[in-house]
Amino acid sequence: MSVDAPSAVPHPARIILIRHGQPHIALSPRTSHAGFAGYIDDYEKAGLDPSSLPPAELRDLVRELGVVFTSDRPRSHQSAQALAPHAQLIADPLFAEAPLASPRIPWLNMRVPKWAVLSRILWHAGFNPEIENSRMARRRAVQAADLLVARAKADGTVVLVAHGYFNWMIGRELHRRGFSRSGMHRARYWHAVIYQDMR
């Protein structure tokens, strides 16, 4: 009597969300609202700082992958190149950062990170002059999650090198779909959070 070989146990779908490395721009200058408006544009155009190298544990994490997703922003795409030079990179504006706009607050002079926090709070409150609003960004995060989940179910593991806040938005959607999370989203360069569908 023949005995059937045990079927292989499928690996859980795994999605790794990685924030890009440090961009090649001053990170914390003090400026006015007008200066912050210009800084937003310069930050979007900035590539990866050549001294910002991916940690060895991240390189090991993606070593076997043939494809890495990234946004179309220079700092994200160049980070993916540095992290996985062996892989095919798929750049898609779908994964771009949720945008910010500079609020016109006269006489206020702050460092850029404080402007960014204030602008993000106001963005959620409805301040979105000529930029994508929070509702549109949430819909885009759902579309991004759809793409990553489909690829993870086909390939087992998928990696996205993109942006801190939008990665968090995608992660929130993955959690809503039942994915478990390993790690916390933090505003650190080269920071990774792993989501797995254990069902």
Summarize pLDDT for 147-197 with one digit per residue, the tens.
999 999 999 999 999 999 999 999 999 999 999 999 999 999 999 999 999
> pTM of whole model > 0.85?
yes
- What mean pLDDT comes out for the span 128-146? 97
Give pLDDT, residue 199.
Answer: 72
Q: How far is CA 29 from the centre of its chain?
A: 23
Q: What are phi and psi of 70, to 5 degrees?
A: -155, 160
Beta bridge partners of 157: 14
Average pLDDT over residues 41-55: 97
How confident is residue 10, by pLDDT bands cut at 50, 70 and 90? low
Residue 8 has pLDDT above 60, yes or no: no
Average pLDDT of the chain to the nearest whole number: 93
Predicted pLDDT at 34: 97
The three-state secondary structure class of 159 is strand
CB 106 within 8 A of CB 126: no
Domain 13-197, architecture per CATH: 3-Layer(aba) Sandwich (3.40)
List the domain boundaries for the chain.
13-197
